[in-house]
Structure 1
Amino acid sequence: MHSITADASLEHRIHLELPAARGGDQAAYGRIVRLSQNATTAIALAITRDVQASQDIAQEAYLKAWQQLGRLQNTTSFLPWLRQITRNLARDHLRGRRERLVAGETAELAIAQAADPDGCPMQRIVDDETGRVAADLISELPDESREVLLLYYREGGNSKQVAALLGLSDAAVRKRLSRARRSLREDLIARFREFAESSAPGTAFTLLVTAGLATFAKPAAAGTLAGVAAGSAFGGGVAGKAALGSAGAIGAAGAGLLFGGLTMWLCRTMIARYAETEAERRAILRLYDRWFVGGGVVALIVMLPVGFFVQRGVLPSVWAAAGGIALMAIFNHPLLTSLPRLMDPLLARDAARDPRGAARRALAYRLMFGSSGLIITNLGVLGSMLILFLRNA
């Protein structure tokens, strides 16, 4: 039996994980994501020239592939199949962006100000410039060389590994690398390398995709997921699970964390689609990340340790109750103030253009972010606190 070379080992390792992944092994699929995520995000980035969009697209590609993995008959076709899914999603993203009407500069500034009235104008200028530099660097390259050069630097300069991930010969990779280097001025080569390396997805990307798999997997035992529903609404995603840890259900908190991560990502993606300009998109994501992602991190850092010590009787139950109330305040504030100011004009614009489709989208939005979502979230947190007191009575 011939030996596997070091350069081909990455592709070989992916193929070794596929049988278990096809059988529903989420950990095996997570390892596939970790091994191939540089390639998928590079493909999406080469098409969109937008780092955040490229990671969103790659995440969607992995979740779509997971849903359809059982249909894959030949494991050697997995990487070409995944690449095609990624390219299709990236092109759909560009097509959708081109079809949107561009709002005026005044509207952009008003939306950005509503989302972040205290924001630093200088930071917005830096963000704009960073995005433009990234797009300009990628645009300097021939179309066929973008994926290769991005992945080459992300994979530590291993051309054979790039060839395996992109389904090319090593000679073809080297030819495209040479053409790409000739296209860029010498002073831009170092900048492009730094950009490629710094924009590569990390461990958080893998964890986020793996968390999303729980939505499509078989449900766990009722005892393990006893409290997941309490935090399944937006805002309750991470906070609700952390509060359930306070009730003594550490296992439920862990399972809820995965489900909550997916919930937050899906909500983030959903509201970003209302944006028609880059300024609108940045304003929405800045508000979301500041309050909800940041609030989720606070919940994890604070509530899981509190739950652990309450469960063991080191801390009184009132500590967990106080933490739950504080988290309710953190998530309720933007849902009642900042988010409506930002999103109401966008929802109204959507309704004016497509009343029938907008009605369905608005219903989903209200369940996640509106009064219905707020009620469900608060009931989830209050319910977890009630469980806490009943268990410790």
Structure 2
Amino acid sequence: MYFERVQFSYAHGGPFGGTPEGMNRIPEKRMNDNTECTDEQLMISLCDGDDSALEKIVKRYQNDVFRFCLHYLGEMETAREISQETFLRVFTARDRFDATRPFRPWMLCIARNMCLNIIKRNKVAPMDSLEGLEEASSAASPAWYPATEHPLENVLADERRRALLRLVYELPEDARELLMMRYFEQLSAREIAEVLETTEGAVRTRTHRALNQLRERCVGKLDFLS
């Protein structure tokens, strides 16, 4: 089976950052490497029997899916296993993908459901490890504190990010999940709605409520947010 020979590799010996090195196997069929296909085009090609499409999807998203799973599971090895299992599910469910809808939320919905199954089976709270959550968020690009060219400002921004993350961690589970997707993974309201299988309006309402909860916790604690 093709997928069993796919090897996941993470840049610089870790699952975060950089460009994934890709898989060792050279597929029998390969699309033109000079052509940048959309996710949906890759899925159509995969359904048509082009195994190289799966390789491109894995290379494009393996770090993102790993980080997404780590937000939920808080443990690196388990997150790595579930992220790899997610791509296996993408492969086995390829014929059920609707190419008229965006691929990324569909893939993340698979990852989320698998994470929740692990959480339910192990009877642990989602995002239960703050250390894992901090590690996951350090690989993302939070919209709250973008990097600057000044080293000291970057250090302060990192401290603020960690302090803010601890406050996010104190929020109810559903609020944490929404803020993680919106600000740490930078998904749009529409994409979040696809992942959570709800409406875009519901996502906007719940995100607004979650932000209000976060603001209340920030009062008197994070002066730099004012």
Provide TM-score, normalisation by structure 1. 0.29
As a proportion of its length, which structure holds more helix? 1
Higher Cα Rg, which structure: 1
